[in-house]
Chain A
């Protein structure tokens, strides 16, 4: 879907710390371009007739322009506060689709689409601070006497065959005892 060859890679960003203070809709201007007669503009014409007024009322911070063009395929141009401009083709859209696409581009930040390297990002404050070899080190090491017997052992030792056998026998013993217990309990109940 998102290949690094074509899609730029980056972290989620927000223009102008939007939302820390107050949220401002980043879509500053939208131009609906359509034809008054052709069939492919049918949906966008329906949208203009029925829903455009309510859209403009809901988003007073967005300037809406209508641009009828004879025998041209319909499209809309979204212009953002950061200077980006996107053209979206609305060929053969229905009015419903028009609402959905316009809503998508109204709620976007205007930063070009990118593949997110991570879904979060902080420049500052850093969550754990600057890393050093002593970060997250066990404080018990401060009072350990070296050379220490415990720390000299290998981190992971493989069990020998004898040990495994002994373990199996022990397990069996325990299960036998358990069986005996259950039998005793049953006998008592009888």
Chain B
């Protein structure tokens, strides 16, 4: 009995040493590796539209879109604003291919709304800029306006309020031009559903706020500031300003820095201060600085984003152009801080 048991035990040990028990699936890693290799060889996945997902309800999304903006839209108009001509053409083609003779879609494209919205945005943006920056020459207003209504800016805004998935258009991914057009048409739809003042608030909150943390001088800067400054001062009867070197450090080194101040000759008032690595650059910077002071666009300017449509100036008034700019004939408009104060007292 005992011998039998020991013999059994010995046999068991022999069995385990002879047959190698695999502790894991030896085939798994190579298979996964091969699958990954094949997937990689196909290249990256093409982006797919969100509507191909199972959890997608277009009506819900459009409802959420209007609620997100906090606006009351006419549903038909909103749908029209989101529909591009290319989509209608493609759908009609599709129906014809299936065999429908006269395809009916009951969809209207947003072409009219786009032009209408574009005009409205242009008008509100220009009026806002002229109200807030009454001393800035018209060239500057045009420069900032051009930035705010560029395809880049409008498409950025349009994407970030969530239109990219709701637009009905033929191309995918949606082009920037389409995105900006849809933003314009949404504005027009808002004008028709809730009125001008509501739509102006929409433009203010989403488009005009894009200049909130931007340097205003990147949009427009005079090319020859020294010449321009003396011309402007001459119109006011002041002789051309006198530059004085009021500081220098690290002369004849690569870290040289000069500081130049501009003084009016008749009453010795400093009108501008600039620094640079050479005296000429510092002089030019000082001229730029004094122009900024004249135009009311200093570096630390804070624009008010609480103006309503009725607080803006009329659309036919314009700022002065550079070649006629003079402090004597500046337009008189309510300054923005007065407007802000008025609003604060109203709310209190």
Contacts and interface: CB of A to CB of B under 8 A. Distances in A.
A127 to B, nearest CB: 8
Contact of A22 (B54, B57, B70): B70
**Interface residues of chain A: helix, strand, loop or mixed (majority):** loop
Contacts of B301: 125
Most buried by B among A17, A28, A31: A17
A16 interface: yes
A81 interface: yes
A20 B201 CA distance: 12
B210 interface: yes
Contact of B213 (A17, A31, A127, A129): A17
B33 interface: no
Contact of B57 (A25, A63, A81): A63
A28 B64 contact: yes
Contact of B60 (A63, A122, A132): A63
A24 interface: yes
A61 interface: yes
A39 interface: no
B162 interface: yes
B89 interface: no
Contacts of A133: 247, 249-250, 257
B259 A134 contact: yes
A39 B299 CA distance: 61
Nearest to A30: B55
Interface in B54-77: 54-55, 57, 60-61, 63-65, 67-70
Given A126-B300, A132-B259, A134-B247, A20 B212 contact: yes
B186 to A, nearest CB: 14
A108 to B, nearest CB: 15
B214 A81 contact: no
A130 B204 CA distance: 30
B162 A21 contact: no
Contacts of B300: 125-127, 129
A28 B162 contact: yes
A82 interface: yes
A29 B64 CA distance: 9
Given A63-B57, A63-B60, A21 B213 contact: no
B305 A81 contact: no
A29 B60 CA distance: 10
A112 interface: no
Q: Which residue among B57, B208, B214, B299 has the maximum number of chain A CB atoms within 10 Å of its CB?
A: B299
Contact of A67 (B55, B68, B204): B55
Contact of A81 (B162, B205, B250): B162
Contacts of A130: 299
Nearest first, the 10 closest Cβ-Cβ pairs linking A and B are A21-B205, A61-B68, A60-B67, A65-B55, A16-B160, A125-B300, A17-B209, A132-B275, A63-B64, A21-B209
Interface of B: 54-55, 57, 60-61, 63-65, 67-70, 156-157, 160-162, 204-206, 208-210, 212-215, 247, 249-250, 257, 259, 275, 299-302, 305
